[in-house]
Every structure is written in C-alpha cells, then in structure tokens.
C-alpha cells in the first residue's frame, strides 16, 4: 500500500462504510430468500469491513501528530480477520453501547462479544465451506440456521449504527456534507 494522505484516508473510510452498508443490505435480501448461510457470511463481512474504520482512524491520528506510519503493518491489520473483529467489537462497545455505571451491562456486553468472537468466525467459515466433522459431512446450508443469520444481521446493523455515529462525529468529509445540506436547506427556505 502506498502512503495515503489524510484526505484519501477519510475518503477510504466513506467507501468502507458504503461497502459494509451494502453487505448488510445484501445479507437481508439473502435471509429473506432463505439463503441463511450466505446471509450470515455477508453480515459477518459487513462487521469485518467496519472493523477497518478504527484502524484507519489510528493511522490518521499518527499522520496528524506527524508520527511515522508502518504502512506494511497497517495493511496487515486491515487484512487480518482477528484484528478487524476485535476492532469492530471494541468500536461497537465505545460508540454503540449506553454507558451503564450501575450494572456495567456495557462491560458485560464487551466481555460476551470477546468470548464469542471465535464462535462468530467459526460460523463464518461454516457458512462458506463444506467441511467434515468426525465422520459427518457438514454443508453450510445445514450448519447455519435462520436464527444464526438473523442474529448476525442484527449485529451488523448495530455495528453500522455505531460506526455511523462515530463517522458523523469525526470524519470531516461527512461533517462538511452535513453543513452543506444545512446551508442548502436554509437557502431553500428563504426562496
């Protein structure tokens, strides 16, 4: 990966978000059509795609602080499934959960998400490949239930919502577009 500018990285963030949103929508279509395994797969991919966003924000932070960026390491993290899953879990915890100072339900959510991360990855693999377990052949269509797919699609939506919230707060391209929309609305109301 060549070194990207801060503006290019902000644009990359928007393209990643758009792709994740499309993966989520396509997962819903597949679920409605009865393709539970592939619906699960695309919803999981949506979450992995969103997991790239905090990694890129970290790179932007380094560039803003004039700190060096190890672009090879950055690319490795952007392509590593575990890094993306961990990143998405933590981001959803920070931006998608209500702070619960009394019962710590937010912390309980993160602990549960972390404990189930490998299970979600295993289900992703089961939703993709025919496998053999013991002496039994396991097909994706048999391995993934409608409930599995529905739960993953809901998780992807929650992740999209958390990332949208964060992106609208910190991505200058979105902030500028929002400000332009406000100005255009004000102009139209005067006319």
Provide the pLDDT for residue 184.
59
Mean pLDDT score, 83-107: 85
183 CB-near residues (< 8 Å, 6+ apart): none
Provide the pLDDT for residue 6.
92
Contact 88, 48 (CB under 8 A): yes
- Has residue 2 got a pLDDT over 70? yes
DSSP secondary-structure letter at 135? T
pLDDT digits (tens, 9 = 90+) for 20-38: 999 999 999 999 999 999 9
pTM of the model: 0.83
Mean pLDDT of the chain: 88
Share of the chain above pLDDT 90, in %: 59
Contact 74, 1 (CB under 8 A): yes
Q: How far apart are CA 163 and CA 50, in angstroms?
A: 7
pLDDT digits (tens, 9 = 90+) for 138-186: 999 999 999 999 999 999 999 999 988 888 777 777 666 555 555 556 5
Q: How far apart are CA 60 and CA 53, in angstroms?
A: 11
Phi-psi region of 124 (alpha: psi -120 to 50; beta: other; left: phi over 0): alpha
Rounded to 10°, the helix 105-126/81-96 angle is 150
* Upper half-sphere CA count for residue 1 (Cβ side, 13 Å): 19
Helices (H), the chain: 6-32, 36-64, 71-79, 81-96, 105-126, 140-143, 146-170, 172-190
Provide the pLDDT for residue 175.
63
- Has residue 187 got a pLDDT over 70? no
């Amino acid at each position: 990966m060549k070194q990207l500018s801060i503006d290019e990285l902000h644009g990359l963030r928007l393209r990643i978000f758009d792709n994740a949103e499309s993966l989520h929508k396509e997962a819903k279509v597949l679920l409605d059509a009865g393709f539970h395994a592939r619906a699960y797969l695309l919803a999981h991919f949506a979450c992995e795609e969103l997991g790239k966003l905090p990694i890129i924000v970290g790179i932007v932070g380094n560039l803003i602080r004039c700190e060096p960026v190890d672009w090879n390491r950055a690319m490795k993290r952007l392509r590593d499934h575990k890094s993306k899953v961990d990143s998405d879990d933590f981001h959803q915890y920070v931006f998608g959960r209500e702070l619960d100072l009394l019962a710590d339900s937010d912390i309980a959510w993160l602990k549960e998400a972390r404990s189930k991360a490998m299970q979600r990855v295993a289900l992703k693999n089961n939703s993709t490949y025919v496998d053999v377990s013991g002496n039994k052949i396991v097909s994706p269509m048999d391995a993934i239930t409608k409930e599995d797919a529905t739960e993953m699609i809901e998780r992807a939506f929650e992740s999209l919502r958390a990332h949208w919230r964060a992106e609208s707060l910190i991505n200058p391209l979105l902030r500028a577009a929002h400000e332009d929309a406000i100005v255009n609305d004000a102009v139209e109301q005067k006319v």
